[in-house]
Structure 1
């Protein structure tokens, strides 16, 4: 199976997304924060990551930047949840998709 990493702090939504991606043939790994996910991502080398930015703080964007700098490059799809489009634009500027 193809590995996909999901970063989402809402457990119910994470379960829903996991079911959808698994139905499409992905092996989904999940974490509630980018910071917690980075060691697992380095080990598992996913083909893509789906990241829901929770609050768009500078710390969260810094962790996203670390994610985009990992040696094994892969697409990172960012959703801004209920945040302003400005947060999504900052994520794009860091290198997210």
Structure 2
């Protein structure tokens, strides 16, 4: 997994944009309104997301519509998989312990 993924996700504004784009594609103006950022700041964050592959953009007349691209998130998910298994194993052990422990 590339370090670019972490550099993108470290910024809270970019994470908020991804959260909004997870719901549906949005225009720059919609993101500006939702995030209470300036248009230049929003465009700057969208450029970083686009350059890193997190979002795709298509033109609709005069507007640019941004949509999430799941590929970088799939890479992150694959990297997290071994850690998730570790966590799940511990939760399973706790569940088993609780199931076998009798109440006083």
TM-score for both structures, normalised by structure 1: 0.28
Task: Pick the structure with greater CA Rg.
Answer: 2
Name the structure where helix makes up a greater proportion of residues.
Answer: 2
Name the structure where strand makes up a greater proportion of residues.
Answer: 1
